[in-house]
Amino acid sequence: MPDLLNELVFLFQRLNWVSLLDLFLVTLVFFTILMIVRGTQAMMLMRGVILLAIALSLLTSLVNLPAFSWLIRTSLPALLFAIPVIFAPEIRRALERLGRAGSGTLFYRKDPSADQLMQQEISGVVAACARLSARQHGALIVLARNDNLQEYVRTGVQIEAKLTAELLLQVFYPNTPLHDGAVIISNGRLIAAACVMPLSASGILNRTPERQMGLRHRAALGISEASDAIAVVVSEETGSISIAQGGRMIRRLDSERLQNILMAFYRPSELATNPFKAFIHLFQRPEAGHRPED
> What's the start-to-end Cα distance of the chain, in Å?
50
pLDDT of residue 131: 94
Query: How much of the chain, in percent, has pLDDT values that exceed 70?
Result: 68
Give the burial class of 20: count Cβ atoms within 10 A of its Cβ; 0-12 exposed, 13-18 middle, 19 or more buried. Answer: exposed
pLDDT of residue 146: 81
pLDDT of residue 231: 95
pLDDT of residue 274: 45
Task: Round to whole Å and give the CA distance between 59 and 55.
Answer: 6
pLDDT of residue 49: 72
Q: Write out the H or E segment, with its range, that includes residue 219.
A: helix 215-226
DSSP bridge partners of 140: 233
With CA atoms as reference, report the closest residue to 246 among 230, 232, 258: 230
Task: Enumerate residues 6+ apart whose C-beta is below 8 A from 216.
Answer: 138, 139, 140, 233, 235, 236
pLDDT of residue 220: 92
- The amino acid at residue 72 is I
Span 180-204, average pLDDT = 87
- CA 50 to the chain's CA centroid: 24
Is the pLDDT confidence value at 107 over 80?
Answer: no
Q: Which of 49-63, 112-126, 168-182 has the highest mean pLDDT?
A: 168-182
Q: Collapsing DSSP states into helix, strand and coil, what is residue 231?
A: strand
Span 189-213, average pLDDT = 74
Span 1-13, average pLDDT = 67
Span 145-149, average pLDDT = 83
Span 185-212, average pLDDT = 76
- Residues 287, 264: contact at Cβ < 8 Å? no
Task: Enumerate residues 6+ apart whose C-beta is below 8 A from 69.
Answer: 60
Per-residue pLDDT reduced to its tens digit, 240-250: 999 998 888 88
| Average pLDDT over the chain, rounded to an integer | 76
Q: Write out the H or E segment, with its range, that includes residue 38.
A: none
Stronger pLDDT, 212 or 282, i.e. the higher one? 212
**Phi/psi of residue 264, each to 5°?**
-65, -40
Task: Round to whole Å and give the CA distance between 99 and 103.
Answer: 6
For the chain, domains (ranges, CATH) are: 2-104 (no CATH), 110-290 (3.40.1700.10)
CA distances from 280 to 228, 274, 283 (A): 17, 10, 6
CA distances from 158 to 183, 191, 265 (A): 10, 6, 26
Task: Round to whole Å and give the CA distance between 77 and 80.
Answer: 5
Stronger pLDDT, 108 or 224, i.e. the higher one? 224
Per-residue pLDDT reduced to its tens digit, 35-59: 766 655 566 667 777 787 788 777 7
Per-residue pLDDT reduced to its tens digit, 12-36: 677 777 878 888 888 888 787 777 6
